[in-house]
Amino acid sequence: MAAVIGTTAAIVGLLNTALTLVQQIRSAWDRVNGNSKALQDVCEQLDSISTSLELVRDESRLHTAEVEAQVSSITAVMEELKTFFDGLRIEQEKSKLRQFGHAVKSGDKDDKKLAGINSRLSGARQELVLRISVVHVGLTGNLQDGFQVAQRVVMEINENVKRALGTQLRIAEMLEARSLTTAEVVTLREEEVEELGLRYDQSSGARQSGDDKTAGAADETNNLNWHKNTTGDDPKLLVGNLGLDESEKAAVVKASITNSKFGKGLGVTVGTVGKEGAQSFNENFWRKW
C-alpha cells in the first residue's frame, strides 16, 4: 500500500507542475514574434502533451513508477522550453527598444534550438505513451496462484486511453484476441503471463526465459535493473544524464523497475535533462513531498 500511495502522491505533484508549465509556455508562445515551422510545431506538441498528461492525471490506475518517471522527464524538458521562451521574450523586448523587431525565422539559430528542444519533447511524450500502453491495469494474483484480470476495468480504461492517445493498452489487445467472453474476471493463460512479462524468478526477481542462457539473468541492456527492493520515504532514482549541452548526443537510457516497494514521495527520472533544465530539475526533483 505504501508503494501505491507514495507513487500516487509524487505523480500528482509532478502532473500539476507539468500542466502548469504547459499553460505558461502557451502564454509565452503567444507573445513571441515569428512564424517559423518550429514555433508551429511547439504549439501542436503542447496540445498532445496536455492531452497525455490530463489522461494520467484523471486515471489514477495509470500511476506507476515507470509512468511517473516519464512525466518527470517531460517536466524537465518543458522547464527547458519555458526558459528558452522567457529568454526569447526578453531579447525581443530589447529589440523593440532598439527600434527593430527580433523574430524567430525558419532556419535561424533560435529556430534550430527550438526544434531541438521540441524534438526531445516529442520523444519524451512518445515514451510516455509507450509506458502507459504496458501498464497492467485490472491485474491481480501471483505466479503461484495464477493471475486474474478484471475485464470491465481493463476495457473501461482502454477506452480512455484510445480516446486520448489513439493507442490501446497491451493487456486490452491481448484480451480482445481471445474468444468472446462475458466473464467479469479472466484468468490469464500461461502464454499470456509470458507475453505480459509477469514471469519472474522468485529468488532473483529477474525475468525467466525458455533459453537457459538468459533465464534468471537481468537485462544487460538496461542502465538500471531494480528488482525486489524496498525503500524508506522520499526515495529518489535518477538514471541518465543531467546538464548536457544540446550538441552532445546522449545514449538512450533504459531502466527496469519491478516488484519493489517504495515509501512516500517517490521520485524517478529515466532519461536526459538538458543544460538549461538542469537547475530547475535539481530544485524540484530532490525535494521532499
Contacts of 76 (CB under 8 A, 6+ apart): 269, 271, 273, 274, 277, 280, 281
- Interatomic CA distance for residues 169 and 232, integer angstroms: 31
User: What pLDDT does 200 receive?
Assistant: 52
User: What pLDDT does 8 receive?
Assistant: 57
Asked whether 226 and 256 are in contact (CB, 8 A), the reply is yes
CA angle 119, 162, 259 (to 5 degrees): 80
Residue length, the chain? 289
Nearest Cα neighbor of 237 from 219, 224, 250 is: 224
SS3 275: helix
Asked whether 205 and 188 are in contact (CB, 8 A), the reply is no
User: What pLDDT does 95 receive?
Assistant: 61
Contacts of 268 (CB under 8 A, 6+ apart): 65, 66, 68, 69, 72, 236, 237, 239, 257
DSSP result, 3-55: HHHHHHHHHHHHHHHHHHHHHHHHHHHHT--B--HHHHHHHHHHHHHHHHHHH
- Interatomic CA distance for residues 131 and 189, integer angstroms: 23
C-alpha cell at position 106: 525558419
For the chain, residues with pLDDT lower than 70 are: 1-9, 33-34, 94-108, 179-181, 200-222, 227-228, 245-253, 259, 265, 275-277, 280-281, 283-285, 287-289
Q: What is the pLDDT of residues 2-52, one digit of tens each?
A: 333 345 567 888 899 999 999 999 998 887 766 778 888 898 999 999 999
| Paired sense of beta strands 146-150 and 267-274, if any | unpaired
Nearest Cα neighbor of 36 from 90, 108, 84, 97 is: 108
Contacts of 190 (CB under 8 A, 6+ apart): none
Q: What is the pLDDT of residues 233-260, one digit of tens each?
A: 777 777 777 777 654 555 666 777 776 7
Contacts of 163 (CB under 8 A, 6+ apart): none
The pTM for the full model equals 0.65
User: What pLDDT does 197 receive?
Assistant: 81
Q: How many CA atoms lie within 13 A of 217 on its CB side?
A: 11
User: What pLDDT does 287 receive?
Assistant: 67
